[in-house]
Amino acid sequence: MKLFLSLQDPRELPKGSRDPLGFEVVWTRYGRKIVSNLTTITGSIEEFLTALYGFYLSQVEDEEEQRHRFMRYEQLAGYLREYANRHGNNKGGFVRGVTRVSARLSELKSDNTKVLTLSPMKRDMILSNQTAYGLWGLYSTAMDISGLIKARSVTVQGEELAKTMADSDSDLQNFLRSKIANDTTLSLDEIKRFSDRFAKLLHREHRSRLLEILLRGNEGSLQEKLFHFIDRLDEHRWKQVQSDIWYLAQLRSDMETPLKNAFEDIVHVDMTLWLCNKLFEYLRLPQWANKPLENIIAEIERKDPKVVLDEPPSNFDDDLKMFRFQWNDQEYRQALETLLQRHLKIMQTRGGAPWVEMTPKGMKIRIEAPDATLELDKPGHAYDYFLGSYVRIYAAYREIMS
C-alpha cells in the first residue's frame, strides 16, 4: 500500500481569529444608536488632530498621490511626536507604530550621521500595513461621520480647524509640506528642531473645538444627549464612569427617555452576548475533546446557574432570542446546540471549519480555550459599544474645560 501526503483541505482550517459568533455586527447596531462616530480604537485626541492636519496638508486631486503624501506625513509626525514624548516639554500622545518609530529613533541617536527615509515603501512604513492600520485607515470613518472630511478631503468645518493649526506655526507647516511632497530623508537635527513644536500644535485652542465636534455628534442625536448628561455629572460620579464605563448604564434612570431606552437595550443585549461568549469558550476546554455534549451539560447543571437573561429588544437576532428562551427554561442542551449552530453558520460564510462542533464521536475542538472558566452566579460585560472611546475623548475635553 502506498501512502500519499497532501495539503490539508482548506475547509478543515478555522478561518478568522476573532468574532467566532458574529457578534460584532450585533453589538455595533446598538452601540451606534448612541455613539455614531467613534470606534473602539479611535480614543486619542492627539491622533485625531494629527490625522486632520495630515488630510489637510496632503490633499491633492490624485488619490494615490494623496495617500503617499499622507503616509510620509504619518511617518514624519510619528517621529516628531515620539521624540517629543521622550525629550520635549509638550507630549505628542500615543503614536501608532511606536515600536518601529522608537527603534529607528534609537538608531538615529546612536549615530546622528544616519537619516530616516520617508516614503510609502514597505521598508519605510511604521506599521506592517500603514494604509490599513494607520491613521488613514482607522480614523477616516470617524472623521467622515463627524463632518471633518469627505472621501478623505477636508470639509469646510475640517479645513477651518486645520487652517487654524497651520496658521499657528507657519514655519512648521512649510517644513511638513516640503517633507511630504516627495520621498525624502529626515535627520536627527530636523527632528530636534520641530518635534516639540509639533507636539505643542496638538495642545492649542483648536483642541477643545475638535473635542466638542467629536463628542456632540449631530444636533438632536442621542450622542448629543449623552454629551449633556455626562457634562452634568459631578466629579465623584464622573470618576466612577472613568474607572468603569458600565457605571453609565447604572445611571440610566436619570437620563432622558430616548437615551435611557438605548442604554436599557445595550444592557439586555450585552448580557446575552456575554453568556454566549463564556459558554463558547467553555465548550472549547481541552477536557471536552471527544466527550459527549451531555458531560458539559451535567457540569453546567452542577454549577446551578443563577444568571437569568433579560428580554432583549424586539429587533434582536432570532437565534439569540431562541437561545435566551432555552437558557431561561433550563433547556441547556438546546441552548448549546443553538449556540453551536450559529457558530457553524458564521464559519460557513467564511469558508472554513468551525472552531468546535458536535460529532457522533463527541466534541471536536479545533481551537482550544485552555484557561476558560464559567462563573454563572452573576453576569459580566462583553463589549463597550464605543463608550470606552467616547469616555476617553470626553476626559480630554473635561480636563480642558475644568
pLDDT, one tens digit per residue, over 229-240 is 999 999 999 999
- 11: CB partners within 8 A, 6+ apart: 351, 352, 353
Measured from the Cβ of residue 48, the count of other Cβ atoms closer than 10 Å reads 27
Q: Read off the pLDDT of residues 270-301 as tens digits, 9 standing for 90 and up.
A: 999 999 999 999 999 999 999 999 999 999 99
Exposure of 368 in the CB half-sphere (CA atoms within 13 A) = 8
Instruction: Say what the pLDDT of residue 25 is.
Output: 95
Task: Give the mean model confidence (pLDDT) for residues 354-365.
Answer: 96
Q: Read off the pLDDT of residues 237-265 as tens digits, 9 standing for 90 and up.
A: 999 999 999 999 999 999 999 999 999 99
Instruction: Say what the pLDDT of residue 113 is.
Output: 84
Task: Give the mean model confidence (pLDDT) for residues 117-125.
Answer: 97
Instruction: Say what the pLDDT of residue 11 is.
Output: 38
279 close to 374: Cβ distance less than 8 angstroms: yes
**C-alpha cell, 202:** 496638538
Q: Read off the pLDDT of residues 138-154 as tens digits, 9 standing for 90 and up.
A: 999 999 999 999 999 99
How is the chain split into domains, by residue range?
A: 14-19+263-365, 37-215, 220-254+385-401
Smallest CA-to-CA distance from 197 within 81, 46, 50 is with 81
Higher per-residue pLDDT: 222 or 43: 222
Instruction: Say what the pLDDT of residue 2 is.
Output: 44
Placement of cell 427617555 in the chain? 257
Q: Is 357 helix (H, G, I), strand (E, B) or coil?
A: strand
Model confidence at 112, pLDDT cuts 50, 70, 90, reads confident
Instruction: Say what the pLDDT of residue 13 is.
Output: 45
Among left, alpha and beta (phi > 0; psi -120 to 50; other), residue 121 is: beta
Least confident of 109-113, 201-205, 321-325: 109-113
Task: Give the mean model confidence (pLDDT) for residues 98-104.
Answer: 96
Whether residue 1 is predicted with pLDDT greater than 50 in this model: the reply is: no
Task: Give the mean model confidence (pLDDT) for residues 352-363.
Answer: 95
For the chain, give the percent of residues with pLDDT over 90: 91
Q: Read off the pLDDT of residues 47-100 as tens digits, 9 standing for 90 and up.
A: 999 999 999 999 999 999 999 999 999 999 999 999 999 998 888 999 999 999
Model confidence at 17, pLDDT cuts 50, 70, 90, reads low
Smallest CA-to-CA distance from 22 within 293, 269, 343, 278 is with 343
For the chain, give the percent of residues with pLDDT over 70: 96
Instruction: Say what the pLDDT of residue 87 is.
Output: 93
Whether residue 305 is predicted with pLDDT greater than 70 in this model: the reply is: yes
Instruction: Say what the pLDDT of residue 141 is.
Output: 94
Placement of cell 435611557 in the chain? 260
101 close to 79: Cβ distance less than 8 angstroms: yes
What's the DSSP call for residue 289? B
Instruction: Say what the pLDDT of residue 35 is.
Output: 98
Smallest CA-to-CA distance from 272 within 314, 315, 325 is with 325
Higher per-residue pLDDT: 355 or 113: 355
